[in-house]
Amino acid sequence: MSKVTVVGAGNVGATCANVLVINEVADQIVMLDVKEGVSEGKALDMTQTAALLGFDSTIVGCTNDYAQTADSDVVVITSGIPRKPGMTREELIGVNAGIVKSVAENILKYSPNTIIVVVSNPMDTMTYLALKATGLPKNKIIGMGGALDSARFKCYLSKAMNANPTEIEGMVIGGHGDTTMIPLTRFASYKGRPVSDVLGKEELAKVVADTMVGGATLTGLLGTSAWYAPGAAAAYLVESIIHNQKKIIPCCVSLEGEYGQNDICIGVPCVIGKNGLEEIIDYKLNEEEMALFTKSAAAVRSTNDVLKEINVL
């Protein structure tokens, strides 16, 4: 029997769990939260849609009872707080690092063989922390960011071309941030046709710009971070693991020489299957793309350095 745990029953975690249960990605989904009653209530609410939507998966909620997460095949960590007014970057990273580290350690007590999918922000740094704190092999710690950024890239491409987003190929690599992500326009295509054959340079530049501020745009509109696409992106990644789909998904993973980088977790094209990260694919970046990737890696490292400054690592 397949089992997935989602830690954090906020907007993103609950959306992820809902997509997982509706699509019957796993036989059982467990949603865990620190706030009493929230995960239990949302799980019950989702369960009551089964007769309407016709799914057979089960979902349960629990408050800080990690025993209920035992033997999970995959654990999605969405826990953490958003940056509040007046809060420094160091303070945000310090709080979320403590949460993610604690969650990962508690999860491994009951599911030592699990694969961890990190959603918590800053995502690249939290993925790096989870890798270092748990000591798990690199294939078992995966950050979700590239899957979300690529979905947004395809969305804006589809709008610009008036095309079906499911028929568009587009990938975003690099750090999961407004200034660090790299939409790979050279590789983007629509039904096998390069998007550059359909869109002019200015149109394509606008798509890239819209993609890079995709999260900030939604925060401006909603007054808080987005949740439907992030939750669905995490579920998409989990499905490729549970069903051994071996999809090529840009994910934040540990690099050991790939793309010229070491000792960093950052978004690159990955084959995702039952073993988690199964292969990192070399997309043969050109000189301009590699320069952008190197710059992105430097920015991610700068954030990672905060972990050492606050003595989390």
Residue with tokens 């969650």: 103
Tokens linked to 199: 């869109």
> Using CA atoms, how far apart are residues 249 and 113, in angstroms rounded to an integer?
22
**176, 237, 254, 296: which is the annotated catalytic residue?**
176
**Can 176 be counted among the known catalytic residues?**
yes
Nearest 10 degrees: Cα torsion 117, 32, 134, 300: 50
Q: How many CA atoms lie within 13 A of 124 on its CB side?
A: 28
Q: Which residues contact 145 (CB under 8 A, 6 or more apart)?
A: 123, 124, 175, 176, 181, 251, 252, 267
Question: Which DSSP string do the residues of 27-42 spell out, in sequence order?
Answer: SEEEEEESSTTHHHHH
Question: Which DSSP string do the residues of 176-242 spell out, in sequence order?
Answer: SSTTTEEE-GGG-EETTEEGGGTS-HHHHHHHHHHHHTHHHHHHHHHSS---HHHHHHHHHHHHHHH
| Eight-state DSSP code of residue 82 | P
Cα 280 to Cα 139, 171, 176, 233, 239, distances in angstroms: 10, 14, 18, 19, 18
Q: Give the 3-state secondary structure of residue 25.
A: coil
Tokens linked to 97: 């690092």
> Using CA atoms, how far apart are residues 125 and 197, in angstroms rounded to an integer?
37
Which of 80, 45, 84, 77 minimizes the C-alpha distance to 61? 45
User: Annotated catalytic sites, by residue?
Assistant: 176
